[in-house]
Structure formats: structure tokens, C-alpha cells
Amino acid sequence: MRLYSLSVLYKGDAKAVLLKAAYDVSSFSFFQRSSVQEFMTFTSQLIVERSSKGSRASVKEQEYLCHVYVRNDSLAGVVIADSEYPSRVAFTLLEKVLDEFSKQVDRIDWPVGSPDTIQFAGLDGHLSRYQNPREADPMTKVQAELDETKIILHNTMESLLERGERLDDLVSKSEVLGIQSKAFYKTARKQNSCCAIM
């Protein structure tokens, strides 16, 4: 999972204006980096120009995904990532960046701004922080922890059953479980067995 570009643009009537951008082209060869960066800028502008106000979209091009969010006030953001990068995290990043940008940069400067004239330093930090969506996004982090816990529990149950012990035998041998708990387990087991397909 990798982010390559994070751009803030203004969607004008005729064309989209690049206001600020951050790039991570370190995975490309040194001699291709400037061309790749120019192509990302061109693609970002083109996608914003062809998107309507108040819309979100993801455009796939080969192994890359371009996520675009154009707000109703014509401020737009584009993230270019690989196809494995989670869309929800990309749109969360765009929303966060555009909110910060609109608070720090005066709205009058948007239509006439350029990367040289706009004073907004947050993009590079966001681009590097969101390279790992698990660390940057709390929801993704929780989901990853849940997945890991599920795998650990599954493996634990498998290893327990591999040793030749059946869960039914362990329940019947248990001194900790009360009579009601054992009865509940047996009833639940019977109910589930009629629904199980083997």
C-alpha cells in the first residue's frame, strides 16, 4: 500500500488550478521522477475538471487509483495511490486536508493561487503519515487488530483440537463450569448442530 500524490486544487469554470501538492516518487527511478510528478499533476487537474461539485470518485488507471473529492465550494483534493490502498482511508485523508486548507488559506486566494503563492505546509506531513493506513486511521487499526485476534483465536482452537482433545470432552471434564453452564453448552451445541452444514 502506497500513496504517491496528495493535491489540493480549485475547480474553476474553465479549468482546475493546482494550489498545493506533495509527492512521494521515491519508488520510481531517479530519471523518471520529474515526468511522473508532472503526469500526476496533469491527471489530478484532469480528474477535478471532469468531476462535478459535491462529488467523490475513484478512478482506476492500470495499477493506480485516483481518489477525488470536489467540495461544493469548488475546493478539491486528489490522492493517487496504488490499488491496494483503502478507499475509505483516502477519502478520510482528503476530507481532513481540505478542512485544514480551507481554515488556513483565505478563500479569495483559491481561484488565483499557485503552489508558489499558497502558504500551506501540511501536505508533506499528511502524505508521510498516511503511508501506513493502519497507523494513520483509527478504524483501519482497530479492524487490523480484530483480524489478528480472530486469526489467533482460530489457530488456538485448531491447535487445541489437533492434540486430540475435543471441546465436548473438555466441557464435561471441567470442574470450573457449573451444572447450568454445562447444560447451556449442550443445548447450544444441539441447536447449532441442526443448522450446521458439513
Cα dist. 17→48, 94, 106, 125, 198 in Å?
9, 17, 15, 22, 60
The answer to whether position 181 is within a domain reads no
- What percent of the chain stands above pLDDT 90? 1
Measured CA to CA, the distance from residue 51 to residue 72 in angstroms comes to 11
Residue 198 confidence class, pLDDT cut points 50, 70, 90: very low
Instruction: Give me the residue label for grid cell 473438555.
Output: 170
Neighbours of 15 (CB within 10 A): 12
**Structural domain includes residue 14:** yes
Looking at the domain assignment, is residue 59 inside a domain? Answer: yes
Instruction: Name the residue range of residue 24's domain.
Output: 3-161
23 vs 134 pLDDT, higher one: 23
- The fraction of the chain above a pLDDT of 70, given in percent, is 71
Residue 195 lies in a domain: no
Residue 19, domain member (yes or no): yes
Residue 196 lies in a domain: no
Residue 170 lies in a domain: no
More confident residue, 55 or 155: 55
Mean pLDDT of 113-139: 77
CATH number, domain of 74, equals 3.30.450.50
4 contacts 25 by C-beta, under 8 angstroms: yes
Phi and psi at residue 35, to the nearest 5°: -65, -40
CA 95, CA 77: separation in Å to the nearest integer? 8
DSSP character string of 30-69: TTTHHHHHHHHHHHHHHHHHHSPTTEEEEEEETTEEEEEE
Predicted TM-score (pTM) of the model is 0.65
Least confident of 40-54, 77-91, 181-195: 181-195
